[in-house]
Structure 1
Amino acid sequence: MRSGGERDGDGDAVETVLDELYVTPPPAFVSRREGLAAEAGAAGRAADARRIRAARRPSLAAWAANLLPHSRPEESRTFLDLGRALRDAFQSLDAEGIKELSERRRSVVSAMSRQAAELAAEAGHRLSAPVLREVEATLRAVLADQDAADRWATGRLESALTPPSDFPGPSTVRTDRRRSPAGAATASPSARTRARDEVAERRRQKQEQLAQEKRERLAQEKQEQLAREKRERLGRAREAARAADERLRQAREDLRRAERQQRAAEKQRAEAADTLSRAERAARDAASEVERLSGRTT
């Protein structure tokens, strides 16, 4: 049950927000995420705010791949159709279909990768050769694997995808497979070698992907830590400024009080001097009168 102060999330609204978030360039992702989560929270949509805050910043390659289904929907649908056709052809061992689709696959992956690079450049981020290779690997994974295709179609990848295994060339497909007496397909030494090589390559790519994700996670954590430290320094500086303002206000008040006291003292001193002067004149006058009167009596 929800507490009375928490409203249910707006499903359509939060999906739109997440779509926007995952096409935000990675350097601006965290600040944009926090801003959108704060807006949802201020609107009383606590569940939406939690979903938004749970979004993880995509790698540069994943972000570039995300741009395609958002900005090139027609081409992306065609690309997904090509992947389904390729997977169906390999399942049915249609050699002619595999040959035709494989040639198309190479050109389409190249074209889609160029489009991703162009979209990234328009957003202010040119893709390096290693990042572009990750985009191409992601697109090959989309063609080879239905789960990868479904994930890419959402436009919310967080990291580049690795193909589970690349499609073999058309010449390696045999429609007249020989079977052992037990009915199992007989694998040639070269096929076993290729299989081992493919496993080793997938393992290497997976290790590279994990290492890249770790580097990106550490970089993001460092960036967030630096942001926290900056906010803390800013808070301390503001507190010090407020304390300095208070000391300045107190010093000014003390100065005004001292000036008032000085003016009062100067006034009292002037009044005392005037009183003394009048007393001195009165004393002189009295002495003169005594002397005058003394002369008469003589």
Structure 2
Amino acid sequence: METALDELYVTPPPAFVSRREGLAVEAVAAGRTADARRIRAARRPSLAAWATNLLLRSRPEESRTFLDLGRALRDAYRSLDVEGVKELTEQRRSVVSAMSRQAAGLAAEAGHRLSDPVLRDVEATLRAVLADQESADRWATGRLESALTPPSDFPDPTTVTTDRRRGTAGAKTKAPAAHQHARDEVAERRRRKQEQLAREERNRLAQEKQEQLAQEKREQLAREKRERLAQERRERQEKREHLRRAREEARAADQRVREARADLKRAERQQRAAEKHREEAADTLARAERTAREAASEVERLSEPTN
């Protein structure tokens, strides 16, 4: 059920309703009526809320670091750590900008470019996550339905100095020592966080490099595949052309065979006719010779003297 809802809230808003209905139908078919009602109760997120949900699910390491940064910022303001506030505020600006760009990139990869107003809603949501624990908790679910607005964004770092001075002027006890202890704790947490951010930044750069190399490898493989397919197409075309020529030659040979057979039949008929004519001529000659002999015999008989 939770996995289905997580999937639903990273579904692009235009496809949300159809996917929601599909998941509900699957739940009903499986006999999970209560789950189906819960799925159908899910509201379609705005484009900005969807982009931040997608960011949380697609970049879990960066998102956890972002939530940690928010906790560090809130601790720094509560402990009046001016130096920490200034440093973390600079990080906040750059990280919010970087996270917003990542959200826009992920949305574009999913087929939805974010307009400037939507991007501003994304940035406002991320600032709210840093400034307010409740907003951070809501975003951490990955199921935002609308953009968040910080209830009270962080004040200017110089106001922290003023507040601290006022507190110090009015204090006659050992409260500054407690504040110093709190600042030391925050500073230590900040140092560890900076080291963690540096490691994660190195890891992110290494991952981006690996992804770039992997992308280049995929593009190279794609080119090689296209070239191989093109070569295979050329070879198939050549085979088809060779087959076409072979068929034409076979048809021409068949035609020549038929013509030769016809010529042979004509020659055989002519030969039979000639043989018949020769036989007739031989018969005629034999009869003529026989007649000539008979005539010669008759002449010789008539030429004999009578007694």
Q: Structure 1 length as normaliser, TM-score?
A: 0.55
CA distance in 2 between partners of 1:166 and 1:114 (Å): 21
Q: Alignment RMSD, CA only?
A: 1.8
CA distance in 2 between partners of 1:100 and 1:179 (Å): 23
| Aligned counterpart, 2:202 | none
CA distance in 2 between partners of 1:116 and 1:68 (Å): 5
Amino acid at match of 2:166: R
CA distance in 1 between partners of 2:13 and 2:56 (Å): 17
Amino acid at match of 1:158: E
Amino acid at match of 2:89: S
3-state SS of 2:111 partner: coil
CA distance in 2 between partners of 1:122 and 1:106 (Å): 24
CA distance in 2 between partners of 1:157 and 1:37 (Å): 20
Given the alignment, which residue of 83, 89, 97 partners 1:110?
97
Given the alignment, which residue of 137, 151, 161 partners 1:150?
137
Is 2:127 aligned against 1:140? yes
CA distance in 1 between partners of 2:123 and 2:116 (Å): 10
| Aligned counterpart, 1:65 | 52
| Aligned counterpart, 2:73 | 86
Is 2:92 aligned against 1:95? no
| Aligned counterpart, 1:48 | 35
Structure 2 unmatched runs, 5+: 173-307
| Aligned counterpart, 2:8 | 21
Is 2:162 aligned against 1:176? no
CA distance in 2 between partners of 1:146 and 1:38 (Å): 36
Structure 1 unmatched runs, 5+: 1-13, 184-298
Q: Structure 2 length as normaliser, TM-score?
A: 0.54
- Deviations 1:51-108 (Å, cap 9, x if unpaired)? 1001000000000010111000000000000000000000011101100000000000
3-state SS of 1:173 partner: helix
How far does residue 170 in structure 1 lie from its aligned partner after superposition? 1.4
Bigger fraction of residues in helix: 2
Amino acid at match of 2:23: L
How far does residue 26 in structure 1 lie from its aligned partner after superposition? 0.3
- Deviations 1:204-242 (Å, cap 9, x if unpaired)? xxxxxxxxxxxxxxxxxxxxxxxxxxxxxxxxxxxxxxx
CA distance in 1 between partners of 2:95 and 2:156 (Å): 16
Given the alignment, which residue of 32, 35, 49 partners 2:19?
32
CA distance in 2 between partners of 1:178 and 1:75 (Å): 36
| Aligned counterpart, 1:279 | none
Following superposition of structure 1 onto structure 2, how do residues 245-260 of structure 1 map, counting pairs within 5 Å?
A: none
- Deviations 1:31-57 (Å, cap 9, x if unpaired)? 110111011001101111111001000
Which region of structure 1 is more displaced relative to structure 2, 62-71 or 172-181?
172-181
> Given that residues 66 and 155 in structure 1 are in contact (C-alpha distance below 8 angstroms), is that contact kept between their aligned partners in structure 2?
yes
How far does residue 180 in structure 1 lie from its aligned partner after superposition? 10
> Given that residues 102 and 169 in structure 1 are in contact (C-alpha distance below 8 angstroms), is that contact kept between their aligned partners in structure 2?
no
3-state SS of 2:165 partner: coil
Pair member with larger Rg: 2
